[in-house]
Amino acid sequence: MKNTPIQESSLDELAAKAVRLGRELEGMAHAVYLGGNTRDFGFVSRTLRRLAERNPFDPRDDQSLGALRSILDSDLASEVTGMERRFFETRHDEFGQDGEIRECPVYSARGQEILAILNAFSAFLAARDATLDRVAAERALRQLLAA
C-alpha cells in the first residue's frame, strides 16, 4: 500500500482563492441582475461590492452573505420551468447498476446562470471559511505557545 501525503494549501493560497472567487462571484451576480427586483439587486450589489474590491474577509459581511444565500435560493426557485425525472446511480456491483429515480427541476437559461452563481458562492464561502479558520488556528497556536 502506498501512502501519499495530502498537500495542504498555504494561507496565502487560501486567501488568494477567496479573493479571486469573491471577485468572480460579484461579476457573475451583476451579469444576471441577481435579485430580480430593484431592492434585492441593490442589496446584492452592496453586499458584493467589497468582494469586487478584493476584501472578502470583513466580519460585517457575515450576515449579508447569509441573506445573499436566501436571495439566490429565491431567485433560482423563480426560474424553474418544469420538473423531470432523472436516474442517479447509487452503486454498481456484480449484478449491475443500481440507483434511484429523482424529480429534478428544469431551469430557464437565467436559472442555469443562477445555478452556476450558487456553485461559485458555495466555493467562495468554503475558501473564505478555510482562510479564516487557518488564521484563527495560527492565532490560537501563538497564544498557546506564549502561555
Q: Look at residue 69 and tell me whether its pLDDT is greater than 60.
A: yes
Q: Supply 93's cell numbers.
A: 456491483
Q: Provide the 3-class DSSP secondary structure of residue 2.
A: coil
Band of the pLDDT at 80, cuts 50, 70, 90? very high
At residue 113, the pLDDT reads 94
128 vs 30, which has greater pLDDT? 128
Q: Look at residue 1 and tell me whether its pLDDT is greater than 60.
A: no
At residue 44, the pLDDT reads 85
Band of the pLDDT at 59, cuts 50, 70, 90? confident
At residue 138, the pLDDT reads 92
Taking the C-alpha atoms of residue 59 and residue 129, their distance in angstroms, rounded to an integer, is 11
